[in-house]
Chain A
Amino acid sequence: MTGYILRRLVSAIPVLLGITVIVFLIMAMIPGDPATAILGSYATPENVARINASLGLDKPLVQRYFIWLGHMLTGDFGRSYALNRPVLDEILDRFSATMVLAGTSFVLCAILGVLAGVVSAARQYGWADRAITFVVLIGISVPSFFLGMMMILIFAVRLKWLPVSGMYAIYGGGDLADLARHLAMPALALAAVATGVIARMARSAMLEVLRQDYIRTARAKGVSETRVVLRHALKAAMVSILPVLGLQAGFVLSGAVYIEMVFQWPGVGRMLVDAILKRDILLVQGGVVFVAACYVVFNIAVDVVQGLLDPRIKA
């Protein structure tokens, strides 16, 4: 297993290197530069040149790429000019916030989605199935930012049940209950789409599995129906649900961009959008590489779990 993980990690290196090239080129191609972003209306060519030189942007492209890559390999992601602090500090700060949000959402959508799919499959064409199918369809048919905005309007502004935005109360907060209050709306809004996708996938995977001969065998043994569904069928269905979970993790991470903007969550998605708009090159590059690396690692983890779940897959 360790060997397998190592092999997968090694094979991820070219992918990550490719991503460094893509993100670097994109940032080089986008019109506008950090100097314009810093100086705004005062961006005279002279001032721009001075600032670009002080940021090292006057060097040739290829040289800049290798300087950046070299520094990054030593753990130095550079300094964000727009936030005036080391890129890595900012990413780590922001990333932990995103992990709380996206992680909660992901757990929420994985549990709710699989549960909905299982119930829906086990009660196929029953009222529970129809209700779930309907709710799930709503979930995947509404833009998440719209859902978020509506939630703020209803639960925060009108009913005043929940705080509008942010991660912790500015004063007197900081505990888990406070975090939960701030997390409730964004996590649900973010989970909606993925829950829908997972529920649909889980439903059809369960239906597929429930048709299998080994399910009939379990029934012929006299295994109770609950156990047939939750143990025999679900475990087998998880084999095809897991890759979807892996894929959805990527979508949740991306969808976090909108949700973080609407709910002012101090996460990495919003950071990257701001950074692109401010042409904060090093922050964008570092952030994207970091997010991509997490995505890759997460998918390796999914494959490993898959291997543990299904002994037929040779690890």
Chain B
Amino acid sequence: MSGFLKLLLRNRLAALGGVVITGIVALALVTPLLPLQPPDVTNTAERFARPFSPGHLLGTDNLGRDLLSRLLLGTRLSLAVGTVAALGAAVTGSAIGIVAGYFGGRTDNVIMRLIDMLMAFPYILLALAIVAALGPGLVNALIAVAAVNVPFFARNIRGLTVGLAGREFIDAARLSGLGHTRIILSELLPNVLPVIVIGISTTVGWMILETAGLSFLGLGSQPPQADLGSMLGEARAALITAPHSSVVPGIMIFLIVMSINLLGDGVRDALDPRLKSGALSRPRAATRVAREHVPEVPQQGVLDLQNLETQFHVGRRVYRAVNDVSLHVKPGECLGIIGESGSGKSVTALSVMGLVASPPGVITGGAVRHDGTDLLSLRPGDLRARRGAKVAYIFQDPLATLHPLFTIGDQLIEAIRSHRALPKAQARARALEMLEAVRIPNPESRLENYPHEMSGGMRQRVGIAMAMINEPEVIIADEPTTALDVTVQAQILSLLDELRRERGLAILFITHDFGVVAQLCDRVAVMYAGRIVEEGPTMQILDAPAHPYTKRLIACVPELGGGRRTLAAIPGLPPVVDKLPEGCAFAPRCAKAQEACRRGEIALEGAAPRAVRCLFPEEAPT
């Protein structure tokens, strides 16, 4: 809930900007209707009248003209100029960028070189030179300001277009015989438009500032016309004597630019889908824990998950990713957690050491016990001390999970030195030892490698070495072999198996593949829609799955040498966990589902060591 509030607060800033700028624009629009003093009538005897003088609410300027009416008219003009300049720069720049990006090759090269030239040319001097060549005047200043901002749009849009131009739908459009203009207008433009809009919304303010700058240099509107920049420029001579005449337009510029910027940020965020999903908020060091009570159940095994509940709070929605999950693993044991993607198995694994990204993740119930303490109630420092030292993780896709900018050696050494004050040389020796232990050839030279310089299998060995380096009691392996090809996968699995047996490790092994479970795990828990639907010893479950879902999962595994069996994918999709159906979550996809399945809570029960959450379990083959 509070995460949602925070997001709203952020939007409130944008809303504030929106309100201010709407107010200013509205004021500018109704200006001609207001009973204002004539803006151009001079009365030099009354020059520099202070604000709140009779007849002049904001005072008068250097020629005794009414500041209020000049301010409003100036605002009108400046807003128009800023908007038109931003639009002009956006249209020209985007057109150039699209053409360069779409046609590529020599066209691109020549255009981009020209853009480079413009960028290297100091922009104020370019504007100055343009105005000097065209003569002064607001329109020419506008042209100059727009012109110097063309490269900004051209470069951004070109980059985007180059990415798009290579995509299939453009090729398809080309093959279907559409002309270049049609492709650009109907295929490319809609795709780059959001970026152009973001660009415009963030540059309007900048344009107003720059036009003001040109007016400061005396190259703006022609007297007696007022724009904010020229008002500032004219008042500048009296900055010390009559500061109000510069402060008034100065504050207006500030208000406009600030509110446009706030609104621009809002627009950018609104158009950026990642922010809505919370992907642009920063995950905390540990998942937020908001439990009403902590279960007081004695610990089983070396790691014990007790009635764990983890949810994602996104906006007003609550996704119940992990729902009342209880699991434990003993030393030397390997427990598999299996399920389709979205079943909550990874979130379960990450909840253990508080690694679920938060926001939006929140642990709302249950406990994780290790060494007799509840890991979820630990202070951040204590939790950190156990991460990697007692409970270590191996992740899927080590290209993304190893830091791309540090060498393997650095990352391994860091893992050690985060827990032990070991001299660097010793830490290095230890890292070397671990690389040997996971059978990486030439470990010495590998230490200096970056992740992208290694193959997938080698990287995963590094991941394992890193997890093992502090000799933890528990390893949580989150789909460690998913990204690897079958032979490498087998090697990694046997390596893990060996390490477990040698060192008495407890392994929590997350996977979606029963084939992998069969090779490594002693016991297995099957998850569906955030709940455990079946658990028991691997062999028993493989032989006689009790839950229809388990049966379907097992059916997905091709049997080596056995050709294709009933490799039927499970029809339908797992339910979205913010709208769980009542009763059995699998019922909608289950061929055997009956009325009773769709009603009431179904318990996980059965004779130990097996349990199943099903009203009509599969018959054990006899």
Among the stretches B291-299, B401-409, B436-444, the one at the interface with A is B401-409
Asked if A211 meets B209 with Cβ closer than 8 Å, knowing A288-B122, A295-B120, the reply is no
A77 to chain B, nearest CB (A): 17
A102 to chain B, nearest CB (A): 11
Interface residues of B in 110-130 (CB under 8 A from A): 113-114, 116-117, 119-125, 128-129
Among the stretches A37-45, A50-58, A84-92, A252-260, the one at the interface with B is A252-260
B279 lies within 8 A of chain A by Cβ: yes
Besides the known contacts A137-B258, A217-B393, A288-B121, 17 further A-B residue pairs in the complex with CB atoms under 8 A apart = A22-B121, A26-B133, A29-B133, A31-B133, A125-B10, A141-B205, A142-B257, A143-B213, A146-B232, A207-B282, A208-B280, A213-B400, A216-B357, A223-B415, A239-B405, A255-B124, A258-B216
B6 to chain A, nearest CB (A): 5
Among the stretches B166-174, B380-388, B516-524, the one at the interface with A is B380-388
Asked if A222 meets B10 with Cβ closer than 8 Å, knowing A217-B395, A239-B405, A273-B125, the reply is no
A124 to chain B, nearest CB (A): 4
Q: Give the bracket for the number of chain B residues in contact with chain A.
A: 35 or more
B258 pairs with A138, CB closer than 8 A: yes
Asked if A153 meets B239 with Cβ closer than 8 Å, knowing A216-B401, A225-B384, the reply is yes
Asked if A143 meets B232 with Cβ closer than 8 Å, knowing A122-B282, A273-B217, the reply is yes
B397 lies within 8 A of chain A by Cβ: yes
A104 lies within 8 A of chain B by Cβ: no
* Nearest B residue to A32, CB-CB: B132
* Nearest A residue to B116, CB-CB: A15
Interface residues of A in 256-315 (CB under 8 A from B): 257-258, 269, 272-273, 276, 288, 291-292, 295-296, 309-312
Using a CB–CB distance below 8 Å, which chain A residues touch chain B?
A: 14-16, 18-19, 22-23, 26-27, 29-31, 121-122, 124-125, 133, 137-138, 140-143, 145-146, 149, 153, 157, 204, 206-208, 210-225, 227-228, 232, 235-236, 239, 250-251, 253-255, 257-258, 269, 272-273, 276, 288, 291-292, 295-296, 309-312
B452 lies within 8 A of chain A by Cβ: yes
- Majority SS at the chain B contact face: helix
C-alpha spacing A315/B367, complex, angstroms: 50
B363 lies within 8 A of chain A by Cβ: no
B358 to chain A, nearest CB (A): 11
A245 to chain B, nearest CB (A): 15
A-B pairs with lowest CB-CB distance, top 10: A222-B388, A222-B387, A141-B258, A141-B257, A292-B120, A221-B388, A220-B393, A124-B282, A213-B400, A214-B403
B243 lies within 8 A of chain A by Cβ: yes
A125 pairs with B6, CB closer than 8 A: yes
Using a CB–CB distance below 8 Å, which chain B residues touch chain A?
A: 6, 9-10, 13, 113-114, 116-117, 119-125, 128-129, 132-133, 135, 205, 209, 212-213, 216-217, 232, 236, 239-240, 243, 246, 250, 253-254, 257-258, 261-262, 279-283, 285-286, 350, 353, 355, 357, 380, 384-389, 392-393, 395, 397, 400-406, 414-415, 418-419, 450, 452-453, 466, 470
B355 pairs with A258, CB closer than 8 A: no
| 15 interchain pairs, CB-CB under 8 A | A19-B121, A124-B281, A124-B282, A146-B232, A146-B250, A149-B236, A153-B243, A213-B397, A213-B401, A217-B395, A219-B355, A269-B124, A273-B125, A276-B128, A312-B452
C-alpha spacing A292/B126, complex, angstroms: 12
A309 pairs with B401, CB closer than 8 A: no
